[in-house]
């Protein structure tokens, strides 16, 4: 029987290649995570390095040190990284969030090696001098002056809810100025330990080859396990001291995949669809987080609307809006890579699919409960003038 099968196979000619799945996640022995996403036909490649904040979370004494590190590391090892990338049509951006620092490189489709090489430089901090830190602290002082009102509102809401466990990722200028080169180097070592590293590659790439290239970048990182600090129970309250005419209502929420979280996000998006000029801020997190709905330029009216709004009349729209909110992030290849990387940086089991499932499960009763919470004694009110 076997020879017959062999003849039959030979007559069929070469077997067609086995189609690759859309994504491949790999966890290295040192705890680092690699996710490669196939996007056939993509004109660009999107590479994201996430450094989880685990073990290096901000405290009042170190508040802003991760942000300072982000500035210092993002220029590369010799200060010419941006020039090298831009010459090839690639750009590098970096941002610090509460749960992770993200380095993002967008490059032409045929420049994956260049993008990965740039990411590799993020794992090697150049020797720092005191004046390097002082100069960058000066830049952060300049950055502080340009902080936008939604950021200020959101930071104030987090401070009310979580106190020192919810410090904003921007930082405190006094604490930033107090950082030493040795402290920055130690933080870099903590944040680049294997279990804190996630590398996402998205583009028209071969899953196995891209995974092998990413592995070569991350495999030397040491395996040092550190726990997350707990964020604690959120407290309600208000803050009327934000600079600039503005108002926000915020609701502390559990993890991103909890139906109460997506219901709160749906409610916020529904409010925003009714009140012109309103923004909604939510960063998906496996830890306790915050949904903020607010607006700048006006310091009254939004709260009144929220207190009087009818959930039944907004439910259908809210369902659509929250689905679109997630879909918009996942449809854009760069945003999708960032979101997946951010979630993986918190746990290798996290993915946006779990948020989608929570959205699918949301009932009117969940939505109404979120509505009630936004106007109840768990909510946080922030205003500015």
Partner 1 sequence: MTPTLLETLTPGAPDVSIAVFAPLPKPFGEKDRQKLAVAVRTLSEGSQEYPRRTAWRMTDGRTIDASLLPDGVAIRFAVPKENLANGIALVEGLLRRPLVPQEDLDRNLVAIQRREPGYWAAALRPLSNDLKSLKQEEARALLRRVFDPKRVVVAVGGDFDAGKPTEFWANRTEDWKPDPGPRYPDITPTPEPSENPAGVTTVELRGPAFAAADPTLAPKWLALVALGVGKGSALFEKVRQVEGWSYRQEAILWPDPAGLVPRLVAATVSDEDESGRAEALRKTLQTAVDAWTEADRARAIGLAAASLERGLPLGPLWLVDGPPGVYDRSLLDAYWWSKAGVRWDPNRLAAALRNVTLDELKSTAAALLAGAKPIVLPGR
Q: Which residues bind partner 1 (CB under 8 A)?
A: 43-44, 75, 79, 82-83, 86-92, 106, 108, 135, 138-143, 145-149, 245, 273, 276-277, 296-298, 301, 317, 320-321, 324
| CB-nearer residue toward partner 1: 225 or 332 | 332
- Compute the least distance from the CB of residue 84 to partner 1, in Å: 8
CA distance 177 to 184: 12
Straight-line distance from the first to the last Cα atom of the chain, in angstroms, rounded to the nearest whole number: 85
Strand 237-242 relative to strand 380-384: parallel, antiparallel, unpaired? parallel
| CB-nearer residue toward partner 1: 246 or 261 | 246
| CB-nearer residue toward partner 1: 44 or 345 | 44
Q: Of 251, 309, 243, nearest to 280 (Cα)?
A: 251
Question: What is the spatial order of strands in the sheet that 33-38 belongs to?
Answer: 23-27, 33-38, 197-203, 44-52, 100-108, 91-96
- Compute the least distance from the CB of residue 272 to partner 1, in Å: 9
| CB-nearer residue toward partner 1: 131 or 377 | 131
Q: Any alpha helices (H) in 275-348, and if so which ranges?
A: 302-308, 311-331, 333-346
- Compute the least distance from the CB of residue 324 to partner 1, in Å: 6
- Compute the least distance from the CB of residue 331 to partner 1, in Å: 9
| CB-nearer residue toward partner 1: 129 or 135 | 135
Q: Give the other-Cβ count within 10 Å of 172's Cβ.
A: 18
- Compute the least distance from the CB of residue 85 to partner 1, in Å: 8
CA distance 309 to 286: 29
| Residue 26 three-state SS | strand
| CB-nearer residue toward partner 1: 104 or 198 | 104
- Compute the least distance from the CB of residue 89 to partner 1, in Å: 4
| CB-nearer residue toward partner 1: 28 or 263 | 263
Question: What is the spatial order of strands in the sheet that 246-253 belongs to?
Answer: 237-242, 380-384, 246-253, 289-296, 278-281
Q: Give the other-Cβ count within 10 Å of 204's Cβ.
A: 15
| Residues written for the chain | 385
- Compute the least distance from the CB of residue 182 to partner 1, in Å: 22
- Compute the least distance from the CB of residue 146 to partner 1, in Å: 5
| CB-nearer residue toward partner 1: 233 or 331 | 331
CA distance 237 to 378: 8
* Contact criterion met (CB below 8 Å) for 296 and 374: no
């Amino acid at each position: 029987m076997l020879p017959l099968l062999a003849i039959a196979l030979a007559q069929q000619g070469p077997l067609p290649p086995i189609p690759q799945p859309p994504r491949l996640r790999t966890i290295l022995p040192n705890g680092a995570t690699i996710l490669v996403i196939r996007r056939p036909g993509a004109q660009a490649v999107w590479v994201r390095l996430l450094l989880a904040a685990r073990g290096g979370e901000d405290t009042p004494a170190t508040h802003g040190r991760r942000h300072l590190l982000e500035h210092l590391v993002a220029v590369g090892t010799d200060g010419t990284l941006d020039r090298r990338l831009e010459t090839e049509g690639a750009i590098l951006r970096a941002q610090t969030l509460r749960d992770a620092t993200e380095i993002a490189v967008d490059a032409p489709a045929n420049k994956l090696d260049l993008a990965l090489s740039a990411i590799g430089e993020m794992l090697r901090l150049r020797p720092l001098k005191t004046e390097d830190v002082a100069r960058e602290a000066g830049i952060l002082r300049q950055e502080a002056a340009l902080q936008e009102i939604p950021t200020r509102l959101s930071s104030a809401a987090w401070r009310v809810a979580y106190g020192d466990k919810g410090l904003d990722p921007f930082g405190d200028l006094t604490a930033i100025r107090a950082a030493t080169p040795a402290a920055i180097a130690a933080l870099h070592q903590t944040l680049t330990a294997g279990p804190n590293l996630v590398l996402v590659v998205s583009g028209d790439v071969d899953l196995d080859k891209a995974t092998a290239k990413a592995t070569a970048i991350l495999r030397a990182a040491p395996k040092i396990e550190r726990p997350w600090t707990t964020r604690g129970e959120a407290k309600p309250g208000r803050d009327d001291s934000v600079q600039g005419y503005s108002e926000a209502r915020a609701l502390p929420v559990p993890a991103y995949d909890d139906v109460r979280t997506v219901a709160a996000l749906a409610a916020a998006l529904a409010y925003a669809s009714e009140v012109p000029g309103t923004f909604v801020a939510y960063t998906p997190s496996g830890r306790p987080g915050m949904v903020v709905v607010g607006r700048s330029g006006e310091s009254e009216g939004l709260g009144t609307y929220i207190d009087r709004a009818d959930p039944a009349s907004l439910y259908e729209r809210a369902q659509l809006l929250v689905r679109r909110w997630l879909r918009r992030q996942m449809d854009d290849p760069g945003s999708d890579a960032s979101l997946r990387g951010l979630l993986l940086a918190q746990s290798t089991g996290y993915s946006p699919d779990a948020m989608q499932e929570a959205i699918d499960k949301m009932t009117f009763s969940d939505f109404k409960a979120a509505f009630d919470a936004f106007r109840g004694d768990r909510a946080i009110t922030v205003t500015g003038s």
